[in-house]
A and B are shown apart, each in its own frame.
Chain A
Amino acid sequence: MANERFTRDHEWIRAEDGVGTVGISAHAQLQLGDIVYVELPEVGRRAKKGEAVAVVESVKAASDVYAPVAGEVLEVNAGLADKPALVNEDAEGRGWFLKIRIADAAELDQLMDRAQYEAFVKQATS
Chain B
Amino acid sequence: MTLSATSAPSTPEASLQHTPLYELHVSLGAKMVPFASYAMPVQYPAGILREHLHTRDKAGLFDVSHMGQAFLVGPDHPTTAAALETLVPADILALKPGQQRYTQLLTDDGGIIDDLMVTRSAAHEDDGTLLLVVNAARKEVDWAHVAGRLPDDVRLQPAPERALLALQGPAAAPVLAKLSDVAAGLRFMTAASGKVGGIDCHVSRSGYTGEDGFEISLAAGAAEKLARLLLDQEGVAPIGLGARDSLRLEAGLCLYGHDIDETTSSIEAGLAWSIQKRRRTEGGFPGFERIRRELADGPARRRIGIRPEGRAPAREGTEVLSMLGERIGVVTSGGFGPSVNGPVAMGYVAAGYAEAGTPVNLMVRGKALAASVVPLPFVSHRYAGVRPGGSDPMLKPA
Contact = CB atoms under 8 A, between A and B. Distances in A.
B237 to A, nearest CB: 15
Contacts of B42: 60
Interface stretch (A13-21, A62-70, A71-79, A105-113): A62-70
A63 B1 CA distance: 6
B3 A60 contact: no
A100 interface: no
A39 B1 contact: no
Contacts of A84: 311
B4 A63 contact: yes
Interface string B1-19: 1111110000000000000
A73 B49 CA distance: 32
Chain B: number of interface residues, binned into ranges: 20 to 34
Given A9-B1, A63-B2, A124-B6, A33 B311 contact: no
Contacts of A65: 1
Residue of A9, A32, A59 with most partner-chain B CB within 10 A: A59
Nearest to A62: B315
Given A37-B313, A59-B336, A62-B315, A9 B2 contact: yes
Contacts of B49: 34, 36, 59
B48 A31 contact: no
Contacts of B338: 59
Interface of B: 1-6, 42-43, 47-50, 52, 242, 245-246, 311-313, 315, 335-336, 338, 343, 365
24 contacts: A10-B1, A11-B1, A28-B1, A32-B3, A33-B43, A33-B48, A34-B47, A34-B48, A34-B49, A34-B50, A36-B49, A36-B311, A37-B312, A37-B336, A57-B313, A57-B336, A58-B48, A59-B338, A63-B1, A63-B2, A63-B3, A64-B1, A66-B1, A84-B311
